[in-house]
Structure formats: C-alpha cells, structure tokens
Amino acid sequence: MTVTAPTIGVLALQGDVREHLAALRASGADPVQVRRPEELAAVDGLVIPGGESTTISKLAVTFGLMEPLRERVSRGMPAYGSCAGMIMLADKILDPRSGQETVGGIDMIVRRNAFGRQNESFEAAVDMPAVPGGPVEGVFIRAPWVESTGAAAETLASYDGHPVAVRQRHLLATAFHPELTGDQRVHALFTEMVRSAH
C-alpha cells in the first residue's frame, strides 16, 4: 500500500516557519508555506508557528486570511499551533493586546507570557503520554499557559500545574516549541491527525 504524504501548510506570516517545515518533512508530510487564501485552500492541515501572536494576528487580518482560517478550522481542517500558534487557536485570551484576534477553535482560555520574567525561556521535560517514547523536551520561550479548558478540550500535558498541551478533536496546541528540538514526535502526532482526517 502506498501511503501518500498529506500536504501540511505552515502559516508563514511571521515566526519560526522554517523549523516547522523541516520537522513536518521529517515526520512524513509534504509541507508548504501558506501566505494567501488560495494557498490555505490547497492544504490538508495547517501549522501555526511560534512567534508573536499579536503580529501574526494583525498580519492574518491584513493578508485577508483571518476569516478563511476561521472558516477552514470550523469546518474541520486539522491545525496545530505552537506557542503563539497555541494562542491563535484559543477561543479566548485572558490578556489580549488591544485589537488582538484569534482564529479560535479550542475551548480554552490562555494567558500570554504566563511564566513571567524570571522564567522567560527555559527547557523542561514534559510528560505527554499521547506521544510514545517518554517525555518530550519542552522549549518554552515567553510561553503562554492554559488558564482553563472547556469540556471538549483534552489536556495532553501539564507543567507547573498548568496545561501546556491540549487537543480538541482535529486541533492540537502546545505552549512549547517541539520544532526546535530535532524530536519530531509531536509533529508525527499531528501528521497522523491530518492523515486520519482525510
């Protein structure tokens, strides 16, 4: 049996796009950059990278992508957001900058820059049983945490008492950056979600 590689887009407005493209390629997907609505229409799934969620939000509106993103996510397109991408997939931000919008889809409230100044960037082993093979190395960079989740959102991992990886049906979000570690297991989980959504 031939298993074709799903086409997975990486939202390429701002942030660590290249690293996600590489991690997706290594996990068996066919990754492409997405900057325009026509490009979004052509993908089977989408990664929203880490970066700065206020900037990604503004650029998504400017590029005419915010509504198409909401539409595709609400119709079941699998999406994975890391860090700023997690914020973009949250239904609600506790402390948004003025005018900051999200795509939404995951019934959760996130707190931006939650780990505080003393702890802006750190690495920690994170237990994430949905990913086989032991803890994931979590790289946290001015990361959000999840303040609360609704009934449909499943917490896949917590750190310091707060959810840092969440899945809701076809949507996945992590507060940390697996694309920076060379460990493709989280991307492999997402690639599998995209395959099985077909």
120 annotated active-site: no
Among 112, 167, 170, 187, binds ligand GLN (CB under 6 A): 112
CB 79, CB 191: distance < 8 Å: no
CB 32, CB 46: distance < 8 Å: no
19, 20, 170, 177: the active-site residue: 177
Beta bridge partners of 171: 79, 168
Q: Which residues contact 11 (CB under 8 A, 6 or more apart)?
A: 17, 34, 46, 47, 48, 49, 56, 60, 65, 69, 85
Q: What is the distance between the alpha carbons of residues 172 and 93, in angstroms, rounded to a whole number?
A: 17
Binding to ligand GLN by CB under 6 A, coded x per residue (else -) over 36-55, reads: --------------xxxx--
Count of other CB atoms within 10 angstroms of residue 67: 12
Binding to ligand GLN by CB under 6 A, coded x per residue (else -) over 69-98, reads: --------------xx--x-----------
Size of the site for ligand GLN (CB under 6 A): 11
Among 141, 186, 193, 194, binds ligand GLN (CB under 6 A): 141
Least gap, CB of 41 to ligand GLN (angstroms)? 26
Q: What number of residues does the chain have?
A: 198
> Which residue, 70 or 142, has its beta carbon nearer to ligand GLN?
142
83, 147, 162, 187: the active-site residue: 83
Footprint (CB under 6 A) of ligand GLN, residues 157-196: none
Q: Is 109 annotated as a binding residue?
A: no
Q: What is the H or E stretch that residue 72 is in?
A: helix 66-74
Beta bridge partners of 157: 165
83 annotated active-site: yes
Distances (CA, A) of 53 to 42, 59, 86, 162: 24, 10, 9, 20
Q: Is 102 in the site for ligand GLN (CB under 6 A)?
A: no
71 annotated active-site: no
- The contact set with ligand GLN (CB under 6 A) reads 50-53, 83-84, 87, 112-113, 141-142
The residues annotated as belonging to the active site are 83, 177, 179
